[in-house]
Amino acid sequence: MNSLKRLFSIVHNRKQPWWIKIQTQTPECTYYFGPFDSKKEAIVSQTGYVEDLVQEGAQHVISALEKTRPARLTSCVFDEPCL
């Protein structure tokens, strides 16, 4: 990668906000929570979102932090209602 592309990539990644991505197997859904200005802020909030989904009946919950701009905040398999 040339220097200009690398510099653009670094600047672009710094501007990307942090999001919490939570995937559940039951219902089969993906949720995004955010945006957060820092990774630390996202980490502090992550547990609360997971706990809320579990209390609502979600099972097999996996969460991760991502620097992204999600196109949709919630997406689920058609036959299953989102929480």
Q: In the chain, what are the domain boundaries? A: 17-76
Give residue 1's pLDDT: 58
Give residue 15's pLDDT: 79
Give residue 66's pLDDT: 97
Give residue 10's pLDDT: 47
Show the CA angle centred on residue 51, arms to residues 45 and 56, nearest 5°: 130
What is the value of pTM for the model shown? 0.77
pLDDT < 70 regions, the chain: 1-14, 78-83
CA distance 78 to 29: 10
